[in-house]
Each structure stands twice: as structure tokens, then as C-alpha cells.
């Protein structure tokens, strides 16, 4: 797998993690009779920030892999152009 593919995979993992945070809060509050903003925020607080932190880490890692591959391509093109 190329570095671009790895970067895209990390970004997809990031999207999965952040969406699972909100889905977990919704499942946690599925038995509630009435919904409002403060109740949903309380449910999100119960889920915690761990998924958000791992999502941010996966996103930054994915961007880093994509930038790394683009830099290597740019370096190789300039190397071939100068020769």
C-alpha cells in the first residue's frame, strides 16, 4: 500500500471514530422520552473525549502520510528534471 493509501485509510479511521462518538451518545440516550440540546451534550460528556482524541490523532497521521508522499513525489520530479 502506498503512503497515499495509508493516509486515506487513517482519515477514514478518523471519520469512523468521530462518528462512533455521536452514535454512541445517541444509543446511550435511546431510552429517553424527550430530547433537547443540553441532554444530548450530557450524553456526549458521558461518552468522553477519548474517541475525539484518537480521531484527531488518526486524522493528523493521515495528513502526514499524504504530505510525506507528495513531498517524495515532488523531490523525485525535481531530481529527474535536473538530470
Domain ranges (residues) in the chain: 3-82
**What does the alpha-carbon distance between residue 9 and residue 50 come to, in Å, rounded to a whole number?**
20
Query: Tens digit of pLDDT for each residue in 53-67?
Result: 999 999 999 999 999
| pLDDT score of 83 more than 80 | no
Q: Has this prediction a pTM greater than 0.85?
A: no
**What does the alpha-carbon distance between residue 71 and residue 69 come to, in Å, rounded to a whole number?**
5
Residue 82 banded pLDDT, cuts 50, 70, 90 = low
Query: Tens digit of pLDDT for each residue in 11-41?
Result: 999 999 999 999 999 898 888 888 888 888 8
| pLDDT score of 10 more than 70 | yes
Whether 23 contacts 40, CB under 8 Å: no
Amino acid at each position: 500500500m502506498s503512503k497515499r493509501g495509508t493516509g486515506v485509510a487513517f482519515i477514514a479511521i478518523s471519520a469512523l471514530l468521530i462518528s462512533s462518538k455521536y452514535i454512541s451518545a445517541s444509543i446511550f440516550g435511546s431510552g429517553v422520552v424527550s430530547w433537547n440540546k443540553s441532554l444530548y451534550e450530557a450524553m456526549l460528556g458521558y461518552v468522553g473525549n477519548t474517541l475525539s482524541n484518537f480521531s484527531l490523532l488518526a486524522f493528523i497521521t493521515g495528513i502526514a502520510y499524504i504530505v510525506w508522499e507528495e513531498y517524495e513525489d515532488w523531490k523525485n520530479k525535481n531530481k529527474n528534471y535536473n538530470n
